[in-house]
Structure formats: structure tokens, C-alpha cells
Amino acid sequence: MALEVRGGLTREDRLRLTGPALRGFFSVADRWALSAVEEAEILGLANSGTPKRWRDRSPLVVRSDVLVRISCVLGIFEALNSIFSDRAQADQWLRRPNAAPLFAGRCALDRMRSGEIDDLLLVRRYLEAEL
């Protein structure tokens, strides 16, 4: 289930959404076998130790941009599992080289790790267009 985050979120909104969003993100990250560095890059975090600390003890509240990034990841996961009937194939798609112009022979995960929310959105939109 993708979490849509648009416009400004209040601190109360972010507090309410942080726990479920992080649980969803870490569930997907485990399925995709993401490293701590990959998790941090996708979440736009400078410190690769932050996701582990969040796994061990959820923060009180995350920034709005982190929630948007998580929404993108959940949307990508959902789209992949709608496109591919085989779970393993859906999970492996991110790491396979892709000839589509958006990826230019690189894998989607490389694009997602750029640190830019726009790249996460592009991957999500690309997959949703395939549905």
C-alpha cells in the first residue's frame, strides 16, 4: 500500500505516519536485501547508521521528505508486485540492468540511490505506467 504525502504535513501528521511508514519501508528493504548504505541513500540521509537506529528505536517523528521517499518506495514495491507474478522476479528487478532510456543500461536501484526524490518519483511513475 503506497502512502501518498502531498503538501505540508503538520508535526501531528508526521508523528502519526512515522511508525507505519518506517515499518513498511523496512519490510520492503528486507525483501530487497538493501544494505544500510542503500537504505540511507534512498531515504536521503547523510548517515548510513541512522536507518539501523530507526529500526532499533523508531524516532519520534521523521521529516516530510522522508515520508515522501517512503511513499515512493512503497509505490515501487506495489507496482513491481503487480507487474510480476513471481515475487523473486519482482524483488530482483531493481538490481538488473535496464535498457529503458530512464535507466540507460543501469539498474533502477542506482537511480533510486541518487539521493534525489525526483529519481524515486521517476522510477515509481515508470513502473505505474507499465501497469
How far apart, in whole angstroms, are the C-alpha atoms of residue 90 and residue 32? 9
* Distances in whole angstroms, Cα of residue 5 to Cα of each of 2, 81, 85, 99: 10, 21, 28, 30
DSSP state of 107: B
Q: How many CB atoms lie within 10 A of CB 58?
A: 15
Q: What pLDDT was estimated at residue 4?
A: 47
What digits encode the pLDDT tens for the residues 32-55?
A: 999 999 999 999 999 999 999 998
The rounded mean pLDDT for the chain is: 92
36 near 49, Cβ under 8 Å? yes
Is 64 within 8 Å of 5 (Cβ atoms)?
yes
Domain boundaries, the chain: 11-130
Confidence label for 2 from pLDDT (cuts 50, 70 and 90):
very low
Q: Which residue has the cell 539521493?
A: 115
In this prediction the pTM is: 0.91
d(CA 103, CA 96): 10
Contact between 79 and 31 under an 8 Å Cβ cutoff? The reply is no
How big is the CA angle at 33 (ends 81 and 47), to the nearest 5 degrees?
Answer: 120
